[in-house]
Chains A and B, each alone.
Chain A
Amino acid sequence: MADVKAKIKGGSFLLQTANPADVFTPEDMTEEQRMIGQTSKDYAKKVHGKLKEIEANKPAVSRPLMKEAGDLGLLALEIPEEFGGLGLDKVTATVSSEEFTRGGSFAVTLMAHTGIGTLPIVYFGTKEQKAKYLPKLASGEWVAAYALTEPGSGSDALGARTTARLSDDGKYWILNGSKQWITNSGFADVFVVYAKIDGEKFTAFIVERGYEGVSVGPEEDKMGLHASSTATLILEDVKVPVENLLGEPGRGHVIAFNILNIGRWKLGAATSGSSKYMIEVAAQYAKTRAQFGKPIASFRAIQQKLADMNIRTFVTESVAYRTAGLLDVVLGDLDLVNTDIKEAGKRIEEFAVECSINKVFGSEAFDFVVDEAVQIHGGYGYMNEYEVATAYVDSRINRIFEGTNEINRLLIPGTLVRRTMKGELPLMPAMMALQDELTSLTPFEDDGEPLAQERYMIDRAKKVFLMLAGLGVQKYQLALEHEQELLLGVADIAIEIFAMESIVARAQKALAAGKPGLKPEMATVYCQEAFERIGMFARNIMPAIEEEGDTLRTQLSIIKRLLRYTPVNVVALKRKVAEKVLDKEGYVL
Chain B
Amino acid sequence: MEILVLLKQTFDTEAKITVKDGHVVDDDVTLVINPYDEYAVEEALKLREAQGGAVTVVSVGTDRVEEALRRALAMGADEAVLVEAPAGADELTVAHALAEWASAKQWDIVLAGNVSVDSGAGQVALRFAEVLGLPHVAAALKLEVGDGKAVVHRDAEGDTEVLEVTLPTLVTAQQGLNEPRYPSVPGIMKAKRKTIARVTPAAPVAAATVVQSVFQAQQNRRNTMIKGSPAEQAQQLVQLLRGEAKVV
Contact = CB atoms under 8 A, between A and B. Distances in A.
Given A35-B74, A584-B16, A73 B67 contact: no
B182 A36 contact: no
Contact of B182 (A32, A42, A585): A42
B70 interface: yes
Nearest to B182: A42
A510 interface: no
Q: How large is the interface on A (under 10, 10 to 19, 20 to 34, 35 or more residues)?
A: 10 to 19
Interface string A243-261: 0000000000000000000
A38 B16 CA distance: 19
B188 A35 contact: yes
Interface string A68-99: 00011110110000000010100000000000
A195 to B, nearest CB: 35
Contacts, number: 42
Nearest to B32: A38
A72 B28 CA distance: 28
Given A31-B70, A35-B70, A35-B71, A71 B188 contact: no
B192 to A, nearest CB: 5
Interface string B58-83: 00000000010011001000000000
Contact of B16 (A43, A86, A583): A583
B235 to A, nearest CB: 28
Nearest to A88: B185
Interface in B182-212: 182-189, 191-192
B188 A32 contact: yes
A31 B185 contact: no
A76 B187 CA distance: 13
A339 interface: no
Nearest to A580: B28
A72 B189 contact: no
A73 B182 contact: no
B16 A72 contact: no
Given A31-B70, A43-B182, A72-B182, A36 B188 contact: yes
A39 interface: yes
A32 B67 CA distance: 10
Contacts of B189: 32, 86
A74 B16 contact: no
Contacts of A42: 182
Interface string A568-581: 00000000000000
A76 B182 contact: no
A74 B70 contact: no
A36 B186 CA distance: 10
B32 to A, nearest CB: 9
Contacts of A74: 185
Interface of B: 16, 28, 67, 70-71, 74, 182-189, 191-192
